Structure 1
């Protein structure tokens, strides 16, 4: 499969995505210290891995998909998913800061749960759309040399972050 490296990258990111759900599931039973550690690790993952991945897709992958599909806005909804991931990641950071200052109120617990489950669901569906719809299309229409160039450009864009 020409685009297996992208599938592999998603597979590498998925355990961290699962952690979003796990942290939300255990909010009622975790210590403040464990929650602080988990939220810090999630924020680092979002900032250092998931968001750079999304930005690289917006700059490199989606223009190729748009070209192959012959539609300039074919991936606009996918880019919108990325905007929402960034917004939710920011909200997670804001909630984490408030948690550090003021503790975990019922309202804050509910907001954290909403943001964590929201990120989890959004990213899982986003990856599924890419892998089930866009990647098979690219594999049918890209030459091996084009796929190789795509991965070089994606890697460069991701590390420019």
Structure 2
């Protein structure tokens, strides 16, 4: 594994426990105390806004244009960018639901909606990471010259810190 692909893999490994938490929280909706659920939802919202969405934005700005160039097709990463749009939409929906729960309590409809959004985010991000690691990272490893990989690594680090 090159330094570039190792760093991207490591970043995903760092994010995955939080992704797993989405499933765990969804599993407990309606079975845990409102306080525990509220804290978990707040923590997930912070993770989404402070870590996952900036990660996606950095990929859209820096990683995906390089992948598209290496693949010789400008639209090669369009479906991956669309995943990022959907993550943002689901994150906003989760925020709206959390506010409704805080304001009006947790009824059956909100429980079902929370589960749907949390399981949706969990599945979408897990599959998205798998596509990156199984398709794009091996492609970069094979086709991106080392100096370009190092430059891309620096650009990704800079993009991640300038959110």
Q: State whether TM-score is above 0.5.
A: yes
After superposition, residues 98-137 of structure 1 pair within 5 angstroms as 98-137=100-139
Q: 4+ runs of 1 displaced by more than 2 Å?
A: none
Aligned counterpart, 2:152: 150
Aligned counterpart, 1:81: 83
Deviations 1:1-52 (A, max 9, x none): 1110000000000000000000000112110000000000000000000000
The gaps in structure 1 that reach 5 residues or longer are none
Secondary structure of the residue aligned to 1:147 is helix
Deviations 1:99-154 (A, max 9, x none): 00000000000000000000000000000000000110010001222111111101
1:159 is displaced (CA, Å) by 1.3
Root-mean-square deviation over aligned CA pairs: 0.5
**Counterpart among 93, 96, 100 of residue 95 in structure 2:** 93
TM-score by length of 1: 0.99
TM-score by length of 2: 0.98
Secondary structure of the residue aligned to 1:28 is coil
Q: Equivalents in 2 of 1:144, 1:15: separation in Å? A: 30
1:46 equivalenced with 2:85 (yes/no): no
Report the number of matched residues. 161
Deviations 1:59-116 (A, max 9, x none): 0000000000000110000000000000000000000000000000000000000000
The gaps in structure 2 that reach 5 residues or longer are none
Aligned counterpart, 1:33: 35
